[in-house]
Amino acid sequence: MRIAERLLTEGHHVVGLDAVTPHYDPSLKRARLARLARFPAFINHETPLENAGALTRQVAKADAEIVVHLAAQPGVRDSLGQSRRYVTSNVEGAFNLLEAVRSSPVRHLMMASTSSVYGSGPTPFRETDRADHPLSLYAATKKATEDIAHSYSHLFSLPVTMMRFFTVYGPWGRPDMAMFAFTRAILAGEPIDVYNSAVARRDFTYVEDVVKAITSLTEKIPTPGGDSGASPIAPYRVVNIASGAPVALDDFIAAIEAAVGRRASRRELPAQPGEMARTEANVDLLRALTGFTPRTSLTSGVRAFVAWFRAYYSA
C-alpha cells in the first residue's frame, strides 16, 4: 500500500492487483485498499497471480511503464506447514507475472525478494555473495523466483531489479511479524514468545525508508555488468534494501516496551527451524545507485508503529 500511496501522491497512475487472501486478517488489507481508493488515479483488481489468464489481460490493459511486484506468501515459520501454498503463490505466481510482462513489455520490472536467501552465510551480506543454501522453504521459493527472473531477463532483454528486503516494519504492516505480535500482546498484558534472544539480531528497515528506496530505484534500470550487483549477461540487478545496522532482539523488545509504556512478560524459547540467527546488509550498492541509505532510527520507527496501532485498533 505505501509504495502505491507515494506514487499516487506524486501524480502517477497506479493499477493494483491484490488477491486479499486470508493468510492474515483481510479487513486490514481492505482498509489499506480503502486508503488508496481515495485517489481517482488508482484502479485495483482483486486477482491472484496464480490466475495466469486474468493476470496477462490486466497487465496488457494497464500498459504500465514500471511494474513493482510485492505479492507473495510471506513468512519463514508458516512455510513449514504450508509448503504447497508457498510454491504455488511465490514461484508459480512470479512465473505468471514474468510471462505477462514478456507479452506486454515494461521499462523496468522490480521484484521483491528477501534477506532469507542468504541463509547462514557471514554478515554483512553483499549482493555478490553466493545464496545457495536457503534455510527455509520460504527462502527457497524466493531464490527460485530470483533465478527464474534472471533467465527471463537474459532471454528476453527484460530489465529486472530484484530487491532483497531486510525485516520491514511500520504502520499498516503484517500482523504475523514480531513488531505487530509483540505490541498487541504487551498492550493486552499477555506474554510474548521470544525465540533465541541471546543470539538473534535483525537488520530492521522502516517502511517509509523502503518506499524511498524503491522509488529511487525505479529509474535506475540495470544493464549487463553495469555495477557490482548486476548480472554480467542480463539487464538484471540485485539490491539490498536495509538500514545496514542490525539490532539485538532484546533491544528491539525494549524499544517496543518504551513506546507502549509497559514491560513485556516473556517466554524464552529456542530458535525455530529455518530461522536465521543474524541478518545484516551491506548497503553500499543502494547508496551508490540512489545516494540514499535508510536512516530512520528504531526508536522513531517503533514509536510511529505503536501510535498507528493504538489509533487503528483503539488500543
Q: Does the annotation mark 138 as catalytic?
A: yes
Distance of alpha carbon 67 from alpha carbon 216, whole angstroms:
14
Q: Which of 138, 169, 206, 236 is catalytic?
A: 138
Cell triple for residue 144? Answer: 527460485
Residues with active-site annotation? 138
